[in-house]
Amino acid sequence: MSLRPQHILPIAAAALFTLGGCKSAPAPTESASTPQPAPAAAPQQINGEDVVTLHRAPTSNGAKPEFLTATILPGRGMNLFQITANVPGKGTIEVFASPSLADANAKFGTTPADLDGNASFSFGGAFLVPYPNRIRGKLSADGSTITTAWQGKTLTLPANWKGKNPGAEPHAMHGLIMNVKTDDVKTVDTPDGQTITGTIHAGDFGGHWLSKTDLNFTIALTGDAVDATITAKNVGDQPEPIAIGWHPYFNIPSGDRTQARLHVPGEQTAEVNNYDDVFPTGKLIPVKGTKYDFTTPDGKPLNDIFLDDNWSKLQRTDGAVDVKLIDPAAKYGIDVLGLSPEIKTVQVYAPPTKEFAAIEEQYNFGDPWGKEWKGMDTGMATLKPGASTTWHVRLKLFVPESK
């Protein structure tokens, strides 16, 4: 699931977004000859692996929106850190809400802001494997891990997150690859762009999982689309649970969040205990007639609603879960198309004080092994030895119709 501002630890918050401060006396005017500090240079490597940017030349002469670049961090779990696009009337825009590479790199490896790789899901588009969202369990005496059970077998997971309220319960959050390096990284040219592939030989995810897993990544950039595909294969000798998701923060280019429109083709949401823990209660609530009904095809304005919610009972269009973020003021729209049948839920995090919406298409509900679900299928796939599962999401740009 997603972050909300009160969850971001102080070190992380300082590096994420520029915040307005208190007014103070103006600084003395400096002469034109006073040297100014140069911005930090973008790092060529992060976590010991080259930063990779896929490129393509624009072909439409500004007549239609088209993707231009995609920047990937193989040293951080193949994080799809930034995408740029050319949008008619706007020029080149950043599709994701991300800091500069230099600022991001300054966050990586810090403690506690990057505990178990947490900084990776603070911006851009982190991939979440082998579990998106939250998992609750019994906390260890030192507070560093939780234990939970799957099919009678015990898993011990990092307790890498908790809410900010007093007494908030530590829990596991967003998987085990956020700061993991990728092997066999290759980039190839295609007729209208470039494609990157790589493999994470995750093994037993640092001793936390029941079998051994290989993760094969493909990210393809063309003018019309950005495709991200992850195939998880059980290369061990024991059955294992697997779920896959993504945590992309989509910019609202105009900066006017109130008029931005969201379409989510989900007929129900999962009730949570509060927006600090964001733990599901097990109750699924129909959205019809509520403020969480975003099923209108052209979306509904976000206005001032706070969202950190999970939609399910998803309706598909041509086989895809099509979530739309529309910015009428910028004449900009993006489709987030979940193409895998295993995608069962969509988490959206959109705080009213920020100019982004995180749209997370994922296999599972939050806390998938929790007693609150009373044995319901919560979307976790089971992989027998030799079996695999594939998550595939496609991004497409469009110009919304004028109202």
Which tokens in the block code for residue 122? 């603070």
Inter-CA distances, 93 with 83, 331, 396, Å: 9, 12, 14
pLDDT digits (tens, 9 = 90+) for 223-260: 999 999 999 999 999 999 999 999 999 999 999 999 99
pLDDT digits (tens, 9 = 90+) for 26-69: 333 333 345 556 667 888 999 999 999 999 999 999 999 999 99
Query: pTM here?
Result: 0.90
- Between residues 378 and 7, the one the model is more confident about: 378
pLDDT value for 63: 94
pLDDT digits (tens, 9 = 90+) for 174-229: 999 999 999 999 999 999 999 999 999 999 999 999 999 999 999 999 999 999 99
Report the share of the chain in percent with pLDDT over 70. 90
Find tokens 């269009």 and name the residue. Answer: 317
- Bridge partner list, 67: 85
Task: Give the number of other Cβ atoms within 10 Å of residue 303's Cβ.
Answer: 11
pLDDT value for 38: 63
Mean pLDDT, rounded, for 139-155: 97
Measured CA to CA, the distance from residue 303 to residue 216 in angstroms comes to 39
- Long-range contacts: 49-54, Cβ < 8 Å, 24+? 49/73, 49/74, 49/75, 49/181, 49/182, 49/185, 50/74, 50/185, 51/75, 51/81, 51/101, 52/185, 52/187, 52/196, 54/187, 54/193, 54/194, 54/195, 54/196, 54/219, 54/221
pLDDT value for 251: 99
pLDDT value for 172: 98
130 upstream amide cis, omega within 30 of 0: yes
Residue 171 DSSP label: B
Measured CA to CA, the distance from residue 275 to residue 95 in angstroms comes to 26
pLDDT value for 36: 59
- pLDDT mean across residues, the chain: 92
Mean pLDDT, rounded, for 276-293: 98
Rounding to the nearest 10 degrees, give the CA dihedral for residues 13, 16, 22, 28. 130
Measured CA to CA, the distance from residue 254 to residue 171 in angstroms comes to 36
Closest CA to 380 of 43, 18, 135: 135
Find tokens 């950039």 and name the residue. Answer: 221
Q: Which domains does the chain have, with CATH numbers?
A: 5-11+45-254+351-398 (2.70.98.10)
DSSP output for 248-260: EEEE-TTS-GGG-
pLDDT digits (tens, 9 = 90+) for 2-17: 443 333 333 333 333 3
pLDDT value for 35: 54
pLDDT value for 295: 98
Mean pLDDT, rounded, for 248-277: 98
Mean pLDDT, rounded, for 153-182: 97
DSSP output for 71-95: EEEGGGTTEEEEEEEEETTTEEEES
Find tokens 């029941």 and name the residue. Answer: 210
Q: What are phi and psi of 279, to 5 degrees?
A: -90, 130
pLDDT value for 25: 34
pLDDT greater than 90 at residue 18: no
pLDDT value for 37: 62
Q: What are phi and psi of 379, to 5 degrees?
A: 100, -10
pLDDT greater than 70 at residue 21: no
pLDDT digits (tens, 9 = 90+) for 75-124: 999 999 999 999 999 999 999 999 999 999 999 998 788 989 999 999 99
